Amino acid sequence: MIVNGEKLSIDTITGNSLISLLEYYKLSPGRVAIEINGNVIKKIDYNQTIINENDVIEIIHFVGGGV
Residue 13 placed within a domain:
yes
What pLDDT was estimated at residue 67?
64
pLDDT one-digit tens code per residue, 10-66: 889 988 999 999 999 999 999 899 999 999 999 999 999 999 999 999 999 877 666
Residue 54 placed within a domain:
yes
What pLDDT was estimated at residue 15?
85
What CATH number does the domain containing 54 carry? 3.10.20.30
**Which domain does 57 fall in, by range?**
2-61
Q: How many domains, in total, are found in the chain?
A: 1
- Mention every residue, 6+ apart, whose C-beta is less than 8 A from residue 63: 31
What pLDDT was estimated at residue 54?
95
Smallest Cα–Cα separation from 43: which of 66, 10, 18?
18
Note the pTM of the prediction, 2 decimals. 0.88
What pLDDT was estimated at residue 65?
65
Residue 28 placed within a domain:
yes
Residue 66 placed within a domain:
no
Residue 22 placed within a domain:
yes
Residue 15 placed within a domain:
yes
